Amino acid sequence: MTPQLEIAITAVIVSSACALLGVFLVLRKMAMMTDAIAHTILLGIVMAFFFTESLNSPFLIIGAAIIGLLTVYLTELLQRTKLMAEDSAIGIVFPFLFSIAIILISRYAANVHLDVDSVLLGELAFVPFDRFIVFGRDIGARAIYIMGTILLIDLLYVALFYKELKLVTFDALLASVLGFSPILIHYSLMGLVSITAVGAFEAVGSILVIAFMVGPPVSAYMLTDKLRNMLIFSILIGLINAIIGYQISVFFDVSIAGSIAAFTGITFLAIFIFAPKRGMVTMIYTRRVQRIDYGVNSLLFHLYNHEDTNMEEEESNINSINQHLHWDKRFLEKILKKVVSSRYVVLSKGYLKLTPEGREHTIKSFK
């Protein structure tokens, strides 16, 4: 395997794992909690590092998971006092735990790889340097195996507990009445988010983890109204972002994680504008169509109402009809074009007359 391929594979795995769990975080409106966890887990890593004196120990992941859960717990504890909202509680807990980690690193671990810059920004380019060696044989970059395992666990968790995750996320009250503990699901999910964030954060850094966890799910949300599809789309979008983002970074010779995160933003923007059902273009187009439909129907009604009355001459005069309808000339012209081309109305000697089709259409749309 070439180093380039190893980097690309790691990026794809990290991106997919984050995109998968991110769906539930976005639906549970917990995006900011992810940001907090992605930072505070550093404290778990530092403490586990002091304990084991190794940067490759699985205790690092366990330590991170524990601190991740502690972050969630402390935030909820503060929130439950009803003295502050959730975002304020995160604003207290997150910097508190994170700053302890920063102080510990700068005081005791100045000489190891755990420096503040690499924690905040990560570096995918270093992935190929750290090898996984089994029985003296080099079988590839360590990050691929670690992140691969984490992705597998995430996939297994979502596949097994899909029903429970869906129920708890949609209606926690009913879940609790039916015997599916929302707390259990909540904390197991947040535990996995912490573990995924540890893996992701070595590669992409704690600042960008949030882009990987939130970008693809919100993009997917614009494209579908089924949870299952949202999960699939989210992973696919994460995957595409990783592959294209990596190519961009190679082309411009810039930060890999930065390029992927930037491309995540571009994907979202494109989907936000062009999504088939909820995109801005569709919305604007739908509004236009509705406006014209409304105009056509109003004009037809107007003509129908005054047909064969002594007001007909006055009310169907092309030069004054816009005043009766309170329309400006330009809108009237647009609507006239439409009704004439649909053969609902004919124009003769400056007067508008309903055709039989126009009459039928008017009666039908009135019903």
Partner 1 sequence: MQKYLIEAEDMTVAYDKKPVLWDIDLKIPKGILMAIVGPNGAGKSTLIKAMLNIIRPISGKVLFNGCDYQSQRQYIGYVPQRGSVDWDFPTSIFDVVLMGTYGQMGWIKRPGRKQKEKAMDAIKKVGMEEFAHRQISQLSGGQQQRVFLARALVQDADIYFMDEPFQGVDAKTEKAIIVILKELRSKGKTVIAVHHDLQTVKEYFDWVTLLNTKIIKYGEVDEVFTAENLKLTYGNIS
Q: Is 211 helix (H, G, I), strand (E, B) or coil?
A: helix
Q: Which two tokens stand for residue 153?
A: 């666990």
* Residue 93 DSSP label: H
Q: Contacting partner 1 (CB under 8 A), which of 170, 274, 285, 366? A: 170
- Side-chain-facing half-sphere of 61: CA atoms under 13 Å: 15
Binding of partner 1 at residue 27 (CB under 8 A)? yes
Please choose, from the candidates 241, 272, 275, the residue with its C-alpha nearest in 3D space to the C-alpha of residue 259: 241
Considering the complex, what minimum distance in angstroms separates the CB of residue 270 from partner 1?
A: 20
Q: How far is CA 129 from the centre of its chain?
A: 32
CA separation for the pair 166, 188 (Å, rounded)? 14
CA separation for the pair 87, 327 (Å, rounded)? 48
Residue 48 or 218: the one with the smaller Cβ distance to partner 1 is: 218
Binding of partner 1 at residue 178 (CB under 8 A)? yes
Residue 62 or 172: the one with the smaller Cβ distance to partner 1 is: 172
Considering the complex, what minimum distance in angstroms separates the CB of residue 77 from partner 1?
A: 15
Binding of partner 1 at residue 224 (CB under 8 A)? yes
Binding of partner 1 at residue 282 (CB under 8 A)? no
Pairing of strands 345-348, 131-134: unpaired
Q: Which stretch binds partner 1 (CB under 8 A): 38-46, 120-128, 174-182, 321-329?
A: 174-182
Q: Which two tokens stand for residue 271?
A: 């989907």
Q: Which stretch binds partner 1 (CB under 8 A): 35-43, 143-151, 158-166, 265-273?
A: 158-166
Q: Contacting partner 1 (CB under 8 A), which of 2, 107, 111, 177? A: 177
Amino acid at site 232: I
Binding of partner 1 at residue 79 (CB under 8 A)? no
Q: Is 324 helix (H, G, I), strand (E, B) or coil?
A: helix
Residues that bind partner 1 (CB under 8 A): 27, 82, 160-164, 166-167, 169-171, 173-174, 176-180, 221, 224-227, 229-230
